[in-house]
Amino acid sequence: MFEHPAHIGLIGYGEVGKIFAAGLRAQSDVASVAAWDLRFAQAAHAEAQAERAHAQAAGVQACAGMAALCAQAQLLISAVTASNTLAVAQEAARSLRAGTVFLDLNSASPGTKRAAAEAIAAAGGHYVEAGVMTSVPPYGLAVPMLLGGPQAAALAPQLQAWGMEAKPVSDQWGVASAIKMCRSVMIKGLEALVIESYATARRYGVEDHVLPTLAETFPSIDWPRQGAYFFSRVVQHGQRRAEEMREAARTVSEAGFEPLMAQAIADKQQGVAEQALAGLFAGLDKPARWQDYADRLIQAADASASAPRTPRSG
């Protein structure tokens, strides 16, 4: 049985970290919430200052480094990008105290999660993987998640007491992640398919014919509204989704299959993320229609087609 974790440490103070920090700060039996994020270390950077100010206003201690966070936390919650899952666990393992619980929310392959678990266990910590099964907003702490690992069943009641929809599914590391990653191939794949299909239909002027056929086949889905949501999520979080899909591709490879679809989905998500970073979708907010996003993609394709090409040397 775990000691009641009154002191919580968040690794990563991005969207998920902020949401979990707010939810945990509201719990009467949580004495403190601290956080460490690489952005905190950029002392002169405006973004770093804003992040630390946000933490202070939220009642969250912004730590100076991983070691400082581990020194005081009884429960560490890792909420970083998929590509940093293992590195963060290994870094925490160098500083955490024996008996610390490490809850890994990141979207990573079963193999990556097992490697992270081994690092934490070797340091005397208790590693629990979480497969977060949908977007954290608007659920907050109540986002559905599946727990895995030898200590998953022991940790679940405490998380549930804090309002988390945490369900233990296995005492083995990697099972919860396998469930999450297989689902991601479908969900992130559907996002990529919608973006490619809708933008192409818009280019040919046939969207008023294509979308009704989708509604006939899947009448329970509001395809225009769902399309707008998919576009907005990929534009906003495409980089994170691309990293997750590379972990999904690794999951497929670990199962012995060639990850043709998962890798293509990662590439599509990455491409949209790079266009978003370049400002292609500037000015579009959440109420934007899918057509607005598609029109920007069409404009970018036109600009690329008309750009002068560098002659090839003979």
> Are residues 76 and 95 in contact, defined by beta-carbon separation less than 8 angstroms?
no
What does the pLDDT read at residue 47? Answer: 77
CA gap 61, 69 in Å, rounded = 9
311: confidence class by pLDDT, cuts 50, 70, 90 = low
Q: Give yes or no for residue 52 having a pLDDT over 60.
A: yes
192, burial (CB in 10 Å: exposed 0-12, middle 13-18, buried 19+) = buried
Q: Give yes or no for residue 312 having a pLDDT over 60.
A: no
The C-alpha torsion from 70 through 76 and 80 to 85, rounded to 10°, is 90
| 7-172: CATH architecture | 3-Layer(aba) Sandwich (3.40)
What does the pLDDT read at residue 5? Answer: 86
- What are the tens digits of pLDDT across the range 134-175? 989 889 999 999 999 999 999 999 999 999 999 999 999 999
What does the pLDDT read at residue 245? Answer: 97
H helices of the chain, in order, are 15-25, 46-57, 66-72, 85-93, 110-122, 136-139, 152-161, 175-204, 207-217, 223-254, 260-277, 290-306
Spell out the domain ranges in the chain: 7-172, 178-301
Q: Which CATH superfamily is domain 178-301 in?
A: N-(1-d-carboxylethyl)-l-norvaline Dehydrogenase; domain 2 (1.10.1040.10)
Neighbours of 269 (CB within 10 A): 26
What does the pLDDT read at residue 40? Answer: 87
Closest CA to 235 of 268, 212, 202: 268
Q: Give yes or no for residue 210 having a pLDDT over 50.
A: yes
CA gap 172, 148 in Å, rounded = 6
Q: How far is CA 70 from CA 106, 125, 244, in A?
A: 18, 11, 26
- Check residues 23 and 285 and name the one with the higher pLDDT: 23
- What are the tens digits of pLDDT across the range 70-114? 999 999 999 999 999 999 999 999 999 999 999 999 999 999 999
Q: Give yes or no for residue 314 having a pLDDT over 60.
A: no
> Are residues 65 and 56 in contact, defined by beta-carbon separation less than 8 angstroms?
no
Tokens of 205: 């002027």
211: confidence class by pLDDT, cuts 50, 70, 90 = very high
310: confidence class by pLDDT, cuts 50, 70, 90 = low
Q: Give yes or no for residue 307 having a pLDDT over 80.
A: no
Q: Give yes or no for residue 43 having a pLDDT over 70.
A: no
